[in-house]
Structure 1
Amino acid sequence: MFVSIMWGFMSETRSKIRLFVRSNLATDGICELTPDHAHYLYNVMRQREGAQVGLFNGRDGEWRAEIISINKNRCSLAVIVQTAPQGIPPDLWLLFAPIKKTRTDFIVEKAAELGCSRIRPIFTRNTNSERLRIDRLQAHAIEAAEQCGETSIAQVDPPMKLRDVFEGWNVDRRLMFCDESRDAPPAQVALRNADHGSWAILIGPEGGFSQAEAEQIRSLPFVQPVTLGPRVLRADTAAVSAITLWQAFLGDWL
């Protein structure tokens, strides 16, 4: 009953179908969708003239728009009213070593859903996947925002080598280093009294960091090593766990 009541309330203000667009959004504006979006609305969702859709662009909040013309390749919408202000996600980055394709996709998708503002693949000594299509990963981040009701889009950066990541690093951004050696306090202990502000989370590859890499990371003054419990976690599980813990103590879940 609670879910039904809540959904009934939300459906009066925000549309059930949400799409990310590049266009500026404002009252009485017209938005032309891409052929892919037109196909999705017309052939997949069976939407026709008069149907209402939620639009957001990562800048102007979310807007309700009405379809004024549609076919399998084109769709025009009239922008009606703003239904949610532009959200500002926590200043949290995820740095992770890419793994197998579907699991890398999973990491990007869940990082976007959980509120990371920036996602950066890194290559380490034991990284076992070096072929990345950043455009495809960015598309996963956009789809995650469409599904979870977010109005901002996590930025997926081109990959970097670990040794280059910390050149020019702003020392005001704390780094939560998920240390598989377990020579660190539990994350919930380390985060309980930590300062709010700019943070990043670092997740290693399936084979772990090399000893030299781990020692270099621990030596940095802005690094907070943590452990993620008594079990050995897969990289994708570790990413979700670490973001969840950070959000619970320092993020916008409070």
Structure 2
Amino acid sequence: MRLSIGDRVRVFNGTDGEWVCELAEPDGKTAIIVPTEQIRAQQTTDCPELTLMFAPVKKSETDFIVEKATELGVRRIRPVITQFTQTRTVRLDRFNKIALEAAEQTERLDLPEISDLVSLDAALSALPDETVLIFCDEAGEDDSKPWGGEQGRARAALAALGDLKARDAAILIGPEGGFSPDERQFLRSRAGTVPISLGPRILRAETAVVAALSLWQAVCGDWI
């Protein structure tokens, strides 16, 4: 808004890399830019693709999840409804704006694909067969102890992720209150699902997202 004709800006469109462009004479309220030089080719990588599936939480926390998922290189963002999900509406226009700002901040040259809210079953059914589901499971299996005690807890994240290199993955984060017993049983028995533990503390959903994505990028992604 504060630039003048002849000023330069850097632009990207997710396909053709990053370009320096000059502002030309505007057409009414439409800005006109003229590409002058490509300064970065579109990034290509052999890194596996990562999808984030999460149950929306409160507005500001959900915005945080979308922002950090974009910053941490997620390719697809899939909000899902679980039995304990309390937030049942999402605004894709808001999510896409947040993702765009996060991409600009990190100088990422593409945007994640963000889907509308669907049931957990529908989201799982849409996953390609070759995509492994990383199930962040915070509970044990002893109903007589808080959070299920230690019996049946998932493997530590680093140990489990070490076996998943070079595979496309989807990370699943539950809502406040976690997954229901039926959901946990289903996910544990589902082919292609790898339960992981994010440590001895019960994390907030938005914290779990950042922790899980960071661990995956460090072990399987483009931080290697």
TM-score by length of 1: 0.79
Q: What per-residue deviation string (whole Å, max 9, x for no partner) do you get for residues 2-54 of structure 1?
A: xxxxxxxxxxxxxxxxxxxxxxxxxxxxxxxxxxxxxxxx2xxx222222111
3-state SS of 1:105 partner: helix
Q: CA RMSD in A?
A: 1.6
**Aligned-residue identity in percent:** 43
Whole-Å separation in 2 of the counterparts to 1:77 and 1:168: 39
Q: What per-residue deviation string (whole Å, max 9, x for no partner) do you get for residues 124-164 of structure 1?
A: 01001012111211121111111110101101011110122
What's 1:199 paired with? 169
Confirm or deny that 1:242 pairs with 2:212: yes
What's 1:116 paired with? 74
What's 2:19 paired with? 63
Whole-Å separation in 1 of the counterparts to 2:169 and 2:86: 26
- Considering Cα pairs closer than 8 Å and 6+ residues apart, tell me whether 1 or 2 has the greater RCO: 2
Q: Give the alignment of 1:41-80 within 5 angstroms.
A: 42=1, 46-70=2-26, 73-80=29-36
Whole-Å separation in 2 of the counterparts to 1:115 and 1:195: 16
Q: How many residues align?
A: 210
What's 1:219 paired with? 189
Confirm or deny that 1:106 pairs with 2:30: no
Q: Give the alignment of 1:183-194 within 5 angstroms.
A: 183-194=153-164
3-state SS of 1:209 partner: coil
Q: Which moved more, 1:73-82 or 1:94-103?
A: 73-82
Unaligned runs of 5+ in 1: 1-41
| 1:82 Cα deviation after fit | 1.0
Q: Which moved more, 1:127-136 or 1:202-211?
A: 127-136
Confirm or deny that 1:233 pairs with 2:215: no
Q: Which stretches of structure 1, 4 residues or longer, exceed 3 Å deviation after superposition?
A: 70-74
3-state SS of 1:189 partner: helix
Whether the 8 Å contact between 2:165 and 2:219 is mirrored in structure 1 is no
TM-score by length of 2: 0.89
3-state SS of 1:75 partner: coil
Whole-Å separation in 2 of the counterparts to 1:241 and 1:113: 13
| 1:71 Cα deviation after fit | 9.2
| 1:69 Cα deviation after fit | 2.8
